[in-house]
Amino acid sequence: MNGSDLLASFGKLLDDRIQAKTEFRGETTFLITKEDLREIAKSARDELSFDYLLDITSIDNFGEEPRFEVVYELYSMSLAVHLRLKLRVSEDDATIDTVSDIWRTAEWHEREIFDMMGLRFNNHPDLRRILMWEGYPFYPLRKEFPLEGLPSDMPDVAFTAAAPLEGGPFVTQPSTATTKDREPRARGPAGR
């Protein structure tokens, strides 16, 4: 069985649960409901050999409803086939069932989505923030989060003022000097 046969049989098997199918540049995307995610994920792994979860990403469609999309990038090692599962999540019910028991790599991806986007994963074994500190009240990848950041009450953990945009100690300066002489450490302790 080749990749296109695999995807065609998967589409027929799940025909009533696939809301939309998109083919673009040799990649197949199935739009599914979040209620069908676990069953479809198990079928993809067990029956169709999608044994590798490459990534899970989330998209904020601010101003639309449902607001969020969650995208699962699957890969079959034996057949070298990619499959994308996409589902939509309402802001009012921003919870999804975990797939971390199906693919262990989902644990970190789901934690990152929880931390950065605020989506919760039911039955996740360790759903806590992964980049921001516990108690941080915002979700930095949501579109309403301002680019300049928000003030923090924890000055020892994060900057309390907006970071300057003109560079910093790790940015080289344009000049006619050699790369070695333009390197930030060559400018001395003051960074100049």
Reported as a single tens digit per residue, the pLDDT across 35-85 is: 999 999 999 999 888 999 999 999 999 999 999 999 999 999 988 889 999
Helix axes 37-46 and 3-13, enclosed angle (nearest 10): 140
Shared-domain flag, residues 100 and 188: no
Residue with tokens 């693919």: 103
Shared-domain flag, residues 104 and 144: yes
pLDDT of residue 192: 46
Shared-domain flag, residues 132 and 178: no
In terms of Cβ atoms closer than 10 Å to its own Cβ (0-12, 13-18, 19+), residue 17 is middle
Shared-domain flag, residues 146 and 171: no
Shared-domain flag, residues 33 and 59: yes
Shared-domain flag, residues 148 and 175: no
- Is residue 90 very low, low, confident or very high in pLDDT (cuts 50, 70, 90)? very high
> In this structure, what CATH number is given to the domain that contains residue 54?
3.30.460.80
Shared-domain flag, residues 16 and 75: yes
How far is residue 93's CA from residue 70's CA, in Å, rounded to a whole number?
A: 13
What tens digit of pLDDT does each residue of 94-116 get?
999 999 999 999 999 999 999 99
What's the mean pLDDT in 150-173? 55
What is the three-class DSSP state of 151? coil
Q: How far is CA 7 from the centre of its chain?
A: 24
Q: What residue numbers bound the domain in which 185 lies?
A: 165-192
Shared-domain flag, residues 155 and 172: no
Q: What is the DSSP letter of 43?
A: H
Cβ contact 28:85 at 8 Å: no
How far is residue 49's CA from residue 78's CA, in Å, rounded to a whole number?
A: 7
Report residue 68 as tokens: 């969020």
Domain count, the chain: 2
Shared-domain flag, residues 105 and 147: yes
Shared-domain flag, residues 189 and 140: no
pLDDT of residue 165: 47
Shared-domain flag, residues 35 and 129: yes
